[in-house]
Amino acid sequence: MVGTRSFGAYIPKFRLGKGTAGWSFPAEKAVANFDEDSITMAVAAGADCLRGHDRSQVDGILFATTTPPYQEKQGAATIAAALDLRRDIYSADITGVLRAGTTAVHMAIDAIKAGRARQVLVAAADCRMAAPGDSMEPSLGDGAAALLLSADGVIAEIEGSYSLTDSMLDVWRSQDDQFLRSWEERFVIEEGYQRVIPEAVSAFLAQRKLTPQDINKAVYHSTDARRHAQLGAQMGFQEGQVQDPLYGRVGNVGAAFPLLLLASALEEAGPGERILVAGYGDGADVLSIRTSNGADAAREKRRGVRGHLESKILLKSYDEYSRWRSLTPTAAARRPPPAVPSVTALWREADTNLRLHGARCLSCGYTQYPPQRVCVRCQSKDSFEAVRLSDRAAEVFTYSLDYVAGTVDVPLAITIINFEGGGRMMCMMTDREVDAVKIGMPVEMTFRKLHTVGGIHNYYWKSMPVRA
């Protein structure tokens, strides 16, 4: 039996909404911070999904996105390193199409059924952008979701699947485009997803000898809240059967959209409920998932959609968001520009920088970061074991605020943190409100981007206030 063993989600902390100066739309939506992208959000969702699970048992990882940071370099490999997964796993990026998330789930199911893997992590994330003021802008949000698919120990069984391929140029973005492009709205809606999704769902239900009334929750793609409701009625679903699409709070998160809504449905579902999931883009993917008694225990282990929705900061102005996305020119930093990262050093220090491994002395038990050959407490030499610090709680030991640093987010908060169980680290703090930063503040680690120079995205770990 193949199914979902665990699920996770990530929604950025910042929002554009009614209180944001320069934001002319009534809808609220989630926006990634300046140091976030699809890879960092996928890491956050994957960590939420894997909380309480043995990471050494994951045999594969699939990364789904339409906004990969690199045109040529695998994002899944970076995510696997940040999540501290084994090296002898298979990995792949599924990109270039909006339904990449559900396609990745299909591929994971096939790999498990074929015996290639026992557990496969699917992480989907997107940061799609519409031109400022475009009609698509208020409906697009940033976010991520993750599913751990397994051959055993599942909380929800995959009952069946169906796919339909249909070449459609409705919404697209070429290699040189920063913003999404779209054809005439009526064509996009009527000849696009309002034609394709019902066709795929109808064929799947007929294949399984089911009716719309047999579905407890329906999860599917749409462009906005009004069209989402119309499409549900068109397919024969009652209002109570349709999963909240989170428009007005998060927005459509691209390839991660159906998986994020699935995670939200799993948070609310009781035993024996059937959830139908439909992804869209150059066709459609349909999945049927049946929950078991284990869903209740799985909900308690993670922050999930609900926890991320309740923790947010409203941006004061649209100009701030524009600076994050480099839409507004900014003054040059009063410091020399950062040097191009050494590729050799990035490779050599991957365990320290990506996996966030510290070293625990086998003689006295002292933990130090970064790892050193000599223990600073007992002076024993070359007697250490690696310990993962990325999922440990920590608190601020001391900090400083730099108002002249070359950063979009002034002031730059530099923290020295103490990890629970031992270990100390100096790192930047992100997603913070300056007035709230203080000594003793509880923090958690988050995988972020330091900067991009010479086409190289320099990823590292930062501290951030614990999201309540």
CA distances from 161 to 106, 118, 134, 318, 333 (A): 8, 19, 35, 42, 52
pLDDT of residue 70: 96
In sequence order, what are the beta bridge partners of 164? 284
pLDDT of residue 89: 97
Rounded Cα distance between 86 and 123, Å, is 16
Taking residues 411-435, what's their average pLDDT? 95
Q: 159: which 2 tokens?
A: 């009952």
Strands 313-314 and 14-16: parallel
**Which DSSP helix (H) or strand (E) runs through 385?**
strand 384-388
pLDDT digit string, tens, across residues 274-291: 999 999 999 999 999 999
- Report whether pLDDT(298) > 60: no
Q: Could you give the angle at the alpha carbon of 264 between the alpha carbons of 284 and 135, nearest 5°? A: 60
255: Cα separation from own chain's centroid: 10
pLDDT digit string, tens, across residues 399-418: 999 988 778 888 999 999 99
Residue 219 three-state SS: strand
Q: 247: which 2 tokens?
A: 């428009």
Q: 325: which 2 tokens?
A: 């996305």
As a whole-number percent, the residues of the chain with pLDDT over 70 amount to 97
To the question of domain 3-324 being in CATH 3.40.47.10, the answer is yes
Task: Write down the H helix ranges in 285-443.
Answer: 295-300, 304-310, 318-324, 343-348, 350-353
pLDDT of residue 337: 77
In sequence order, what are the beta bridge partners of 276? 218, 288
Residue 306 three-state SS: helix
Which residue spans of the chain are classified as CATH 3.40.47.10? 3-324
Q: How many CB atoms lie within 10 A of CB 393?
A: 14
Residue 454 three-state SS: coil
Q: Are 147 and 53 in contact (CB under 8 A)?
A: no
468 burial type by CB count under 10 A (0-12 exposed, 13-18 middle, 19+ buried): exposed
Q: 69: which 2 tokens?
A: 């940071």
Q: HSE-up of 65 (CA within 13 Å, CB side)?
A: 31
Rounded Cα distance between 320 and 313, Å, is 13
Taking residues 377-382, what's their average pLDDT? 94
Instruction: Compare 327 and 53 and report the one with higher pLDDT.
Output: 53
Q: Side chain identity at 283, as an amino acid letter?
A: G
Taking residues 429-457, what's their average pLDDT? 95
Average pLDDT, the chain: 94
Q: Which of 226, 219, 61 is nearest to 146 (CA)?
A: 61
We find that the CATH architecture of domain 343-465 is: Beta Barrel (2.40)
Which residue spans of the chain are classified as CATH 2.40.50.840? 343-465
Q: Which of 154, 442, 393 is nearest to 294 (CA)?
A: 154
pLDDT of residue 297: 55
